[in-house]
Homo-oligomer: A and B are copies of this chain.
Amino acid sequence: MKDRMTPAARMTGHTQRGQCAKRMSILDSAADVFCRQGFAGASIDEIAAVACVSRQTIYNHYREKETLFVAVVEDVMNRANAMLFSVLSTFPERADDLEDELTAFAVRLNKNCICNHDGKFLRKLVQTEGERYPHLFESWRQQGPGKLITALSALFARLAHKGALVIDDFDVAARQFVALGNADLQMMILLGATPTDEELEKAARNAVRTFLKAYGRPEAEQAGHPSQLAAISG
């Protein structure tokens, strides 16, 4: 049904040759199956089939199902955290065009960190298996979402220091920025659906407008986009 990529096609970019190729194919396919079926529902045979690999090869790399699962989660967590900080590094420095820049940033955050494949995987697995593997996801929680909020609040603090924003509690503002960014996408996020670019853009625009209404410097707000209110109603 859903056209699945062959493992060769799946590994884009530099082709790690040798055993590493199989390893990555296994990790990728296992992530896919674990995500769809959960730990209990995923069968090694299905993972092997998706990875185009024999079952023994999997047991060759990973002692047992649980070992594979932990490796998959750690792999996805590392990718997700790397992507998160890559996106964080694009946070707008200058305060000109703050609405547009923050909107573009929110789009990147939602698209590459929250609505993407890895984000869906982690949400699902943290919810379903989080209680069974507390320490496994705890480290992710601290290094991923935890640091996101810390970093975001520091960045907002800089913008506030420059006079572009008026914020009383940076930490709360950071969390609210992320929450507002998800507001229009919550059901899609829950269902694991992928929003279109227009949906992403619109959600981010709505979020940033409200965020700036709450935290923006009053005079800058109206000076920047005088036609704002008129444009929304359409």
Q: Verify if A169 is at the interface (C-beta below 8 Å from B).
A: yes
Q: Check: A90 CB closer than 8 A to any chain B CB.
A: no
Distance, CA A40 to CA B34, complexed state (A): 12
Given contacts A40-B40, A192-B127, A214-B214, contact A176 B169 (CB under 8 A): no
- Which residues of chain B come closer than 8 Å to A173, judged between CB atoms? 210
Q: Quick one: which of A173-194 are within 8 Å of B by CB?
A: 173, 175-176, 178-180, 182-184, 186-187, 190-192
Give chain B residues whose Cβ lies under 8 Å from the Cβ of A39. Answer: 41
Query: Which residue of chain B has the shortest Cβ distance to A141 in the bound complex?
Result: B187
Q: How many residues belonging to A are interface residues under a CB distance threshold of 8 Å? A: 42
**In this assembly, does A158 line the interface, its C-beta being within 8 Å of a C-beta of chain B?**
no
Which B residues lie within 8 Å of A183 (CB)? 172, 175-176, 178-180
Nearest chain B residue, comparing its CB with the CB of A173: B210
Q: How far is the CA of A172 from the CA of B204 in the complex (A)?
A: 12
B127 touches A123 (CB 8 A): yes
A124 at the interface (CB under 8 A from B): yes
Interface: A213 (CB within 8 A)? yes
- A169: nearest residue on chain B (CB-CB)? B232
Residue of B nearest to A126 (CB): B190
A187 to chain B: which residues have CB within 8 Å?
Answer: 141, 145
Residue A168 CB within 8 A of the other chain: yes
Chain B CB within 8 A of A7 CB: no
From B37, B186, B190, contact of A40 by CB (8 A): B37
By a CB distance below 8 angstroms, the chain B residues around A192 are: 127, 130-131
Q: State the A residues within 8 Å of B (CB).
A: 36-41, 123-124, 126-128, 130-131, 141, 145, 168-169, 172-173, 175-176, 178-180, 182-184, 186-187, 190-192, 206-207, 210-211, 213-215, 229, 232-233
Pairs A–B under 8 Å by Cβ, sample size 13: A38-B41, A124-B128, A128-B128, A130-B190, A145-B186, A169-B206, A176-B206, A176-B210, A178-B186, A179-B180, A179-B186, A180-B180, A213-B214
